Chain A
Amino acid sequence: MRRGAEAAGWRALAPALIDPGPGPGPGPGPEERIAARRLRIAARLDAKRREALGEGAEPKVAEEEEEQRRSHKEIEESRQKLAKLLFDGTQMVTNIQVAADLRETQRRAEEAERKLQRVEKLANEAKSSACKFEEITSKWALAKEMTIPQELWHLLNQQQQQCALLLEEKNKLIGDLQQELKNKDEEYVQAIKKQSDDIYLLLERMEEQIRIMLKTYRHKLLQIEKAFELERRELLDNNRKKWEEAIQAHNAQELAYLHARMRKVEEYEKQLNQLRVEDEEEYNSMKIQLENDVQNLERQLQQMKAVYQLNQEKLEYNLQVLKNQDKENTIIRSQQKRKLNRLHTLLNNLRIKLAKQEKQFREENQSLAADCERITGQCKEVQRRMRHFAVSDAEKFTEVWLMNEEEAKGLMRKALDADRIIHTQQLGLPWEEPHYWFLDNVGPLGRCKAKRMATTLAEEVLTESSSGGQEEEEREKKEEVGSGEGGKENTVKVEDRVTPLQNISKKTAKRILELVSDESGFLIESKLLRPLHALGRHERTLMKLDSIFAALEIDSEDDLYQLVDFFLKYKAQEAAVGQSQRSPGAEDVMDPAEDREDGGSGAQRDKLKSPRSSLGSFPSVYIHTDDVLTILKAFVQDFDKLREKDQSAKEVLQVRDSSKDGQYWEALARVIPEPTLKLWDALAVALEEYYEVLTRRASLLAEAAILQQQNSELCLLLEEYVSSGVSAASSSPAAWGHPATCARIRGHRHGGRCPEPTGVSPRVLLPAGERQAVDEPEPVLPRGSAVSAQGQDTAFLCPELKLGLEPGLPGRD
């Protein structure tokens, strides 16, 4: 709505502005009217706009600055209005200039157009006139040729006419131009008039503007002042009101305080009075009490005085007594002094004696210390000798042992041979050579555990582990096979291939050792380091390890184990989780193999096996290189302690353990087991019987031979006889001579003579022998004699062994 009105206003203004433009013609009357109308329109527009703005501005102000003061609002409002007014005024004033500009531009445009036209016209005219002039000039030449005066006159007349025409045209043009000039002059005059009008209008407007502005300024100033006044008054009122209120409040409060104070004063007065009375009473009572006290004290004073008197007397008496005593004491003191002097001299004497004795004792002590030293030297000597002897003893012992063992082994071998012969030849049974651990033992027991040097061990580890996994597998296989093949081989293997690092996988060990060698290079002497570079990696590591072990004082196998073990323990402590899991399967797998082993070897293997089963517990312990030094440090600290303990343990270990010797020898003695012995006994009996039978048979054979001889003699005799003449009795001697029949007949006879049950077994056991004996009696004898000789040997051996090893031998079961 408002917008529309505004637009209408603007539209209305525009014609007013444009209006004066095109009319350079209209006189001052219309100009004035136009100006008046413009003024009116401007005023109306202004009013409208002011209204619109006022409406528009007020809510905005109210919105934006609600709490702003009314005066500020007023100022703002009037400022806007005045700005509007000013803008409109300047617009109105400058409108004249703009209109004049427009007029000027339009005039210029028109002028340019007219100029163009004029130039064109002039050009045309010049052209046409030039033509005409040429025509005239051409005719002059013609005139010269004219001879007839009339014609010439005619021509001249014509020429004159044409010239006149040309001149006329030119004059006309000049006239036109002059007319135009006059018009221009008029226009100019009009323009000047217009300009003066404009200026007049401008002045008028400016004056009006100034007037309006002044008026509005005054008005606005008044309004603003009023607003300020109002505001001030309000403020004053407000403040006065506030002030009065505050004063009233203050008065009331003061009154209240006064009342309160009065009340308090009264209260305090009362309290004071009360306190005074109380205090007075108290004072009185205390006075009475104090007076009583005074009386009492006076009485006591009197008493004390009496006591004093008494005491004085007593003391005087005492004084007398003491004086007497003093006298006595002086006497006693002199006596004591004398005594003291005497004792002093005594003391001095005693001191001198003591010094003498001390000296004497010191000398004695020195001599004793020298003695002690000598004795300790002797003792050491003795110890050294003893050690020497021990060594020689041990050597001797081993020599004796070896000798005895050799002997025993010879005997054993002999027995075993006999056994084999008995088994194979006599009994016809397959013989199996027994496998005992002691059979292969050479030298005293326990000596096989000689400590290897740490470095060699390390070397072994490193070299072995270079083809570690493979070899290990190989060994496993071999072991299994070996266990199947036989105990002997197995034990050999085990003895040979004792794992250098008992419970640690080689890989781990190798890695640890390499780590140690790499990280603790500072322990190696710098002189050593340089040539090391020339060597291969493996050798370098070995050399390094050697020097490191030397620095750490690790020289034996055990120390190295401890070192590696310490590393693993250290790691295990750190990463305890998951390490404690043991593979139970490993033990289970090994158990059957263990069970098959014989007692001693089994025990030994046990030591090796059980740690081996724990191989899996350290699958691959990762030791960081940075930790190596800390671990080594800790190890060195712990290692010293361990070594001290070890030292004492070693001393003890020097004494040889002879508990197993008896067992060993016993075992050697009992190389032939009990059942075999029994078998042998039984065999001996049977063989004896068999021997008897054989001897009997031999005698019988001899008898038979004699009889045969007799028979042949008789035959001979008979033949002689026959030949001589007797033929009827020749068939009977053939029945006599057949041995089978003879034997059967004899056997029956003998069977009746010996009915013991034992007679049955040899017959069962030795059918071949019998047969042999029957078939070939001659070779039986040497064999039988051999058996008997063997039997005699064993019979001789056994008691001897029994005699030698009887004490402390527990029965085997």
Chain B
Amino acid sequence: MQQPAARGRSTATPSLYPFQDRFAAGLNYTHRIIEDPEWTLATVPHLTELCLQNIVHNFKKNPILDRLLPEHQRKVLDRLPTGLPLAVTANLISDEDYWKRCCIERWQVCDISNYGDSWKRMFFERHLENLLKCFIPNTTDPNQVLELIPLCKDYVRKLEVDQFLPPVQEDQKEERDDLSVTGSDFGFGEVSMHHYDLGDLITALPHLEELHLTYGVKDCGMNFEWNLFNFTHQDCSNLAVAVKMCHNLKVFKLTRSKVDDDKTRLLVHNLLDHPCLVELNLSHNLIGDKGAKAVGKLINHSRLETLDLCNNQIHHLGAQALAQALAENSTLTSLNLRLNCVEDKGGEAIGRALLTNTTVKSIHLGSNNLSEPTAMLFSQVLAQNTTLTSINFSCNHLGLDGGKQLLDGLADNKALTEFDLRLAEVGQETEYLIHQIVRANQEAARLGSLQQPPAKTL
């Protein structure tokens, strides 16, 4: 619903421009008559000026830019309307100012820093994202996307799609849905509920490095139905194959998409030995122990450095599998297991793995129902490990004794700079003391890398 509005606006502006120009000229005209008595009508704009105006007018049909002098190019670019078809502008215009105008015209909020400080890239990425978000399988013409590929393939590096619309059902079915909610869940299983297959698109984008996907519907409001959020097996296999083909991919995020164990395994199977993948984010899914085992296997068969599995259903078995992988691994630096159900068995396994591991810098075990035994083991880890810089134990039941243990372990540690023990029942005093130690370590680390101390802390 957004897009047509945006498009309407963008198409409306070019038509306004000439009028405004004329209006401004008219104002100048009257003004000059008053101001300058010597001014005569005989004074007309330069021919070049006129030509440029003409070029701008007919840019859509006859785009001339490269053959112009730089100053003229500048002028043309400044005057070009933003609503020109992308087929004309995409590969011709590389001027950032033009694309800046386009972006600002289209979206109010533009944070260029997320797009590598390139307005053009931002424009194309967001344009493509919008297109994918509004893509309704079986309804929207897939050529709409495919046509865009040759235009944007050189500029798209990151794809962040947080909505995939399911295919539209017939009205009668929707009506029936209102009658029985439970029936609809089964009823739609028969119909093809698959989302748009990214395979064609992704494999055609050679520079794609980041892929953030969420199979779900945004702003559904009272139209909520479970099947709107159904990440089917077919979707998964399509995605997996597509990702496998995407050799430059570095960051892959698949969140809030009901990814369960089987799908995880399917994905992992396709991601094994991926040449570039550095970050994997599967948070807010339904990954259980089997999925965790698969991910554990992936850790040692790829270059993964960051792994986010927060808010899944990993229990101690899965955690043990991850710990085993962690013990042998030497690439992973960050592991996030927030909001899982690892419990003490899993926590201890991870702790033991960290005794030998020397690469992991940050670990998040918040809200994992951990208690004192894990704290004891981690006190040992803190005493031995010198690479860990950040640990998060918030929302666990470490208890007062566990807190004391951690404090003891931390006594000689000089590496840890972040240690979150909020709501971990460790006692105020212990938390305060630990906080002091961590502050001291931070200070030491800051002094250690004294190149730009204010920049780091402020």
**A14: interface (CB < 8 Å):** yes
Complex contact B432–A6 (CB within 8 A): yes
Q: A101–B367 contact, CB under 8 A?
A: yes
Minimum CB–CB distance for A501 against chain B, Å = 88
Q: Which residue of A17, A75, A108, A109 is within 8 Å of B422 (Cβ)?
A: A17
Question: Are A14 and B458 in touch, CB under 8 angstroms?
Answer: no
Q: Are B366 and A101 in contact (CB under 8 A)?
A: yes
Is there a chain A Cβ closer than 8 Å to B429's Cβ?
A: yes
Q: A residues within 8 A CB of B454?
A: 75, 79
In the assembled complex, B394 has its CB within 8 A of some CB on chain A:
yes
Q: Does B183 contact A (CB under 8 A)?
A: no
A10-B428, A10-B432, A104-B367 given; A79·B423 CB < 8 A: no
In the complex, whether A18 has a CB less than 8 A from a CB of chain B is yes
Tell me whether A772 is interfacial, beta carbon within 8 Å.
Answer: no
Residues on the A chain within 8 Å of B432, using CB: 6-7, 10
Residue A11 CB within 8 A of the other chain: yes
Q: Given A79-B453, A105-B369, are A98 and B394 also a contact pair (CB < 8 Å)?
A: yes
- 8 Å CB interface, B153-193 against A: none
Contact-residue bracket for chain A? 20 to 34
The answer to whether A98 and B428 touch across the interface, beta carbons within 8 angstroms, is: no
User: Is A21 on the interface with B (CB-CB < 8 A)?
Assistant: yes
Across the interface, do A79 and B458 meet the contact criterion of CB distance under 8 Å? Answer: yes
A residues 67-81 touching B (CB-CB < 8 Å) = 75, 79
Q: How far is the CA of A217 from the CA of B457 in the complex (A)?
A: 13
B window 412-432: CB within 8 A of A: 420, 422-423, 428-429, 431-432
CA distance A10 to B433 in the complex (A): 11
* Chain A min CB distance to B122 (Å): 24
Over the window 97-129 of chain A, the binary record of Cβ atoms lying under 8 Å from chain B Cβ atoms (1 yes, 0 no) is 011011011001100000000000000000000
B395 at the interface (CB under 8 A from A): yes
> How long is the Cα–Cα vector from A116 to B20 in the complex, in angstroms?
71
Q: Is B353 an interface residue (CB 8 A)?
A: no
Q: Specify the main secondary structure of chain A where it touches its partner.
A: helix
B132 interface hit (Cβ, 8 Å): no
CA of A91 to CA of B395, assembled, Å = 14
Are B428 and A99 within 8 A (Cβ)? no
- In the complex, which residues of chain A have a beta carbon less than 8 angstroms from the beta carbon of B429? 7, 10
Q: Which of B423, B457, B458 makes the CB contact (< 8 A) with A98?
A: B423
Beta-carbon contact of A86 and B339 below 8 Å:
no
Interface contact A102-B458, CB-CB below 8 Å = no
B265 CB-CB contact with A under 8 Å: no
Q: Determine how close the nearest CB of chain A comes to the CB of B392; give it in whole angstroms.
A: 9
**Most A-side CB within 10 Å, residue of B338, B341, B458:** B458
Residue of B nearest to A14 (CB): B428
What's the minimum C-beta distance from B42 to chain A, rounded to whole angstroms? Answer: 56
A102 proximity list for chain B (CB < 8 A): 367, 394-395, 423
Q: Is A82 an interface residue (CB 8 A)?
A: yes
List residues of chain B with CB within 8 A of the CB of A104.
339, 367
CB distance from B200 to the nearest CB of A (A): 37
From B442, which residue of chain A is reached at the shortest CB distance?
A: A83
Interface residues of B in 368-415 (CB under 8 A from A): 369, 394-395
CA distance A102 to B369 in the complex (A): 10
Task: Decide: A101 and B457 in contact? CB cutoff 8 A.
Answer: no
Q: Determine whether A95 belongs to the interface, using a CB cutoff of 8 Å to chain B.
A: yes
Tell me how far the C-beta of A321 lies from the nearest C-beta in chain B, rounded to whole angstroms: 121
> Does A18 contact B423, Cβ atoms closer than 8 Å?
yes
Mark out the residues of chain B between 79 and 118 whose CB falls within 8 Å of any chain A CB in the assembled complex.
none
CB distance from A189 to the nearest CB of B (A): 12
Convert A199-215 into 0s and 1s, putting 1 for each residue whose CB lies closer than 8 angstroms to a CB of B. Answer: 00000000000000000
Q: In the bound complex, what is the Cα–Cα distance between A75 and B394 (angstroms)?
A: 33
| Cβ < 8 Å to B, chain A residues 409-423 | none
A282 to B394 alpha-carbon distance, docked (Å): 115
Contact (Cβ within 8 A) B458 A101: no
- Residues of chain A within 8 A (CB-CB) of B428 are 7, 10-11, 14
Question: B431–A105 contact, CB under 8 A?
Answer: no
A525 to chain B, nearest CB (A): 82
Least CB distance from A654 to B in Å reads: 109
Residue from A7, A83, A99, A217 in contact with B423 in the complex, judged by beta carbons closer than 8 Å: A99
Q: Cβ of B395 and Cβ of A79 under 8 Å apart?
A: no
Within the assembled complex, what's the spacing in Å between the Cα atoms of A324 and B421? 151
* Contact A95 B457, beta carbon cutoff 8 Å: no
Contact with A along B331-362 (1 / 0, CB 8 A): 00000001101000000000000000000000
Q: In the complex, A631 Cα to B432 Cα: how many Å?
A: 95
Q: How far is the CB of A76 from chain B (nearest CB, A)?
A: 9
Considering only CB atoms, which chain A residue lies closest to B435 in the complex?
A: A10
* 20 A–B pairs (Cβ distance < 8 Å), ordered by A: A6-B432, A7-B428, A7-B429, A7-B432, A17-B423, A75-B454, A86-B457, A86-B458, A95-B422, A98-B366, A98-B394, A98-B420, A99-B423, A101-B366, A102-B394, A102-B395, A105-B339, A105-B367, A109-B369, A217-B458
Besides A79-B458, A98-B394, A101-B338, 9 other A-B contacts (C-beta < 8 A) = A10-B431, A18-B423, A79-B454, A83-B458, A98-B366, A98-B420, A101-B339, A104-B367, A109-B369
B residues near A, CB below 8 A?
Answer: 338-339, 341, 366-367, 369, 394-395, 420, 422-423, 428-429, 431-432, 453-454, 457-458
User: What are the 6 closest A-B residue pairs judged by CB atoms, nearest first?
Assistant: A10-B428, A83-B457, A102-B395, A101-B367, A11-B428, A105-B367
